[in-house]
Each structure stands twice: as C-alpha cells, then as structure tokens.
Amino acid sequence: MTPNLQINPQRLWDSLMETAKIGGTPKGGICRLTLTDHDRRVRDWFRAECETLGCTVTVDEVGNMFAVRPGRRADVLPVAMGSHLDTQPTGGKFDGVLGVLGGLEVLRTLNDTGYETNAPLMLVNWTNEEGSRFAPAMLASGVYAGVFDRAFADSRQDRDGVTFGEALEAIGYRGEAKAGSVKFGAMFELHIEQGPILEAEEKAIGVVQGVQGMRWYEVNLTGREAHTGSTPMTLRRNALVGAARLVERVDRIAHAHAPSAVGTVGLMEVKPNSRNVIPGHVFFTVDFRHPNDAVLDEMEKAFFAAVEEVASALKLESDAGKIWESPAVRFDADCIAAVRSATERAGLPARDMVSGAGHDAAYIARVAPTTMIFVPCAGGLSHNEEESTSFDECAAGAQVLLGAVLDYDRRFADGAA
C-alpha cells in the first residue's frame, strides 16, 4: 500500500513567497527572465535547498538542473518531478515555480519521515521554459529530448542581440553533463492550469491527458518610410496597415476553427516608430494552437495565404516563417493512472483535461513516460502579475504529486523491473 504521508502546506507556501522576492515586481508578480541575474539567484537557492536534503545536483550543458535523492534500488532510473523557475516579464508567483517547489516539498516530506523510495527520486529545473527572452519556448527540455541541438540553443538571441549561450555562461550555469545524459524513468509535472475550467467547475485537480499542438511564426513586413503630412494615401506603402490587417486575419482564422483553436499576435515592433513617419517596417509574432495537428495545418495554410494577399494589396515585401512547432501530445497511461489514484486517495474533486499551454512535459513525453497535474488559478489568469493560486490549492497539488510519485514507485518494489 502507498503510505499516507502528508506534505507541509505552510512550508510549501513559505517557499513560494520567499522565492517570489527574487525578481519580485511592485505589482506583486515576478520578472525573472531566464539566464538573468535573478535566474542565477533562484538557481543558487534551489541548489542549496536540494543539497541540504542530501541530494546530488547535476547541471547539464544547457543549464538544466537535476537533483537526485537516492532510493533503495540503484539499478532503476529515478522517478522525476519538475518544471521551471523562469518567468514572463510580468509573470506571477506560481507558473512553473509551483511544480519545482511542490517537488521540493515532496522531497522534504520524505526526509522528515525517513521514508525511502524504491527508485531514486529526481527534481528538475528546466531552462528557458517560457521562451520570453529566447524563442522558442521549452528550449532546454527540447534539447534534452533531442528536438533541438545545443548549437541551436546557444545561437538563440534575445531582442538585445545577446545569445542564449552567452547568457548561460554569464550566470555560471553551463554544466558539464551532456544534454540527455542525465536519465530518468518517468516524470510528473505539477502546474497551475493557466485557464478557467477547474475554477469554473469547482474541481481541485486536473488529471492531464496531453497537450495541444502549438506553432509559432515570425513575420516581417517592409514598406516605405515617408512623411505623414505630404504623402497621399494612394501612394503609401504602410507596413503597419499590413500588420493590422494580418492581426485581424489571425483572429478570424482562430474563430473559424472554434471552439478549440486559438490564435494570437503577442509581440509587435514598429519602425521607425515616430508619430510623423509612415511605418516602413513591422515585425510581429503569431501563436496558433489546437489539439489536432491536421487543423493546425489548415490554419497555417490560411495564414500564409493571408500574408501574401495583404502584402500584395499594399505593395509590401513580406517574410513569414514558422520558427517552432510542438505537435499534440498524449501522456502516459500508467502515469495518468498514478495521478488519478493519488487524487482519489486525497478525496479531491477532479476532471480529465488537455493542456492548452505548452510545458516541458510535452517534450519529455517523447523520451520518458510523463504526465501533468493541474491546480486551479483565479479567473484562469496566468502570464500576469495578478496570477493567483490559493494556499489550499497549492497544498492539494503537492499532495497529489507526492501520492502519484509514491504510487508509481511501487512498481519497483521487491526486485520488480
């Protein structure tokens, strides 16, 4: 039988609030962009806390951190827990962080009680999950899973021209282990839902079945800069007008595949960005998501056709391309069953669901059995300083994480393979 261990909710909450000070914003959120000094500080904190528990911490060549607590058996791979400690520029206290600190609380609870698992346990902090500073998202878990190589990751640049490799070296977190060489046998990722469903249905836990497909695009439109007062409307090549029309097209394409599709233009740069100069160049990003990859193919085709149509009509030069694709993912049935069992033992109301957001688990599912555990967030709000998850919701998520990991660990008892 799986033991009836209980996490310490106050200790978990205190750790969430303590780390929220690293990069904390005046509005109560966190700005802890990946590979900044704030990221270095929280990494240092994480390493110290894990080593205090007797864990061995390994860092790989793209900055992923792996803390291992020994188990009864050294001949089986660890059961991992993990998420990320980096945030959006205006991020909240829980996105990603809950998954890492919830895992840390699991390790603390086991240490408190002297409980020895059959398999070793591992806690992972994945680098650059957000993709806010260095695109694409989930970059280092992607390198771990073989989706990207180290050279690709190192070459990614932020908007100031700093590369991922340079930033990683600057904070001292370029590890010696080759990406993918630190092995584990399964991974469980605890996370806030980042959507409104659990709260609306008054469910405490989301038993995540998979992740919808995601695609990111970048577009450059080039027209001609000219004086706003002396250039007739009929002779203008206004790149911003083209961008505006394409923003509307992105929205229209997503609505055409409702209710499951979403489409967003989230970043735009206008040049020369002067009030009396017709914009000559616009750069913007597009994010399309849907649980069905075939539908994403249709959305992509419609978008590229729209770019050509709008650019031609306005006499603009266009350069549009897909920079990242994450296919739809189905999680492991045994891992899902462990989460469901832990939820039932905890007596928590739950529902099955598919993740609308991308997570490191989406890439890890390619190389190891994986699933996720969701808890509600107020109003479904995330990637926002007002992001909020309650004391009790965080505790429930960490408790289910503990139960799921111990349930999965039972398969390694008594010399089982």
Does residue 385 belong to any structural domain of this protein? Answer: yes
Q: How far apart are CA 352 and CA 231, in angstroms?
A: 58
180 phi/psi in degrees, rounded to 5: 90, -10
Judge contact between 186 and 330, C-beta under 8 A: no
What is the overall mean pLDDT for the chain? 96
User: CATH code at 310?
Assistant: 3.30.70.360
Classify burial at 417, counting beta carbons within 10 Å of its beta carbon; exposed 0-12, middle 13-18, buried 19 or more: exposed
Q: Do 372 and 296 belong to one domain?
A: no
Does residue 3 belong to any structural domain of this protein? Answer: no
Q: Do 185 and 36 belong to one domain?
A: yes
Q: Do 47 and 176 belong to one domain?
A: yes
Q: Do 18 and 135 belong to one domain?
A: yes
Q: Do 384 and 246 belong to one domain?
A: no
Q: Do 156 and 223 belong to one domain?
A: no
Answer with the one of 286, 305, 326 that is the final residue of a domain.
326
Q: How far apart are CA 353 and CA 389, in angstroms?
A: 18
User: CATH code at 66?
Assistant: 3.40.630.10
Answer with the one of 283, 305, 326 that is the final residue of a domain.
326
Domain count, the chain: 2
Q: Do 62 and 202 belong to one domain?
A: yes
Calculate the alpha carbon distances from 243 to 81, 135, 232, 233 in Å: 42, 21, 20, 17
Does residue 268 belong to any structural domain of this protein? Answer: yes
Q: Do 145 and 128 belong to one domain?
A: yes
Per residue, the 3-state secondary structure of 311-336, as one string, reads: HHHHCCEEEEEEEEEECCEECCHHHH
Q: Do 30 and 153 belong to one domain?
A: yes
Q: Do 243 and 337 belong to one domain?
A: no
Which of helix, strand or coil describes residue 129?
A: coil
The per-residue pLDDT for range 226-283, each reduced to its tens digit, is 999 999 999 999 999 999 999 999 999 999 999 999 999 999 999 999 999 999 999 9
Does residue 40 belong to any structural domain of this protein? Answer: yes
Judge contact between 35 and 170, C-beta under 8 A: yes
Does residue 298 belong to any structural domain of this protein? Answer: yes
Q: Do 185 and 272 belong to one domain?
A: no
Domain coverage including residue 237: 214-326
pLDDT tens per residue, the chain (417 residues)? 667 899 999 999 999 999 999 999 999 999 999 999 999 999 999 999 999 999 999 999 999 999 999 999 999 999 999 999 999 999 999 999 999 999 999 999 999 999 999 999 999 999 999 999 999 999 999 999 999 999 999 999 999 999 999 999 999 999 999 999 999 999 999 999 999 999 999 999 999 999 999 999 999 999 999 999 999 999 999 999 999 999 999 999 999 999 999 999 999 999 999 999 999 999 999 999 999 999 999 999 999 999 999 999 999 999 999 998 989 999 999 999 999 999 999 999 999 999 988 899 999 999 999 999 999 999 999 999 999 999 999 999 999 999 999 999 999 997 555
Q: Do 276 and 334 belong to one domain?
A: no
Does residue 2 belong to any structural domain of this protein? Answer: no
Does residue 220 belong to any structural domain of this protein? Answer: yes
Q: How far apart are CA 187 and CA 356, in angstroms?
A: 19
Structure confidence at residue 358 (pLDDT): 85
Q: How far apart are CA 325 and CA 137, in angstroms?
A: 10
Structure confidence at residue 415 (pLDDT): 56
Per residue, the 3-state secondary structure of 159-227, as one string, reads: CCCCEHHHHHHHCCCCCCECCCCCCCCEEEEEEECCCCHHHHCCCCEEEEEEECEEEEEEEEEECCCCE
Answer with the one of 275, 304, 326 that is the final residue of a domain.
326
What is the distance in angstroms between the CA of the first residue and the CA of the last residue of the chain? 18
Does residue 4 belong to any structural domain of this protein? Answer: no
What pTM, to 2 d.p., does this model score? 0.85
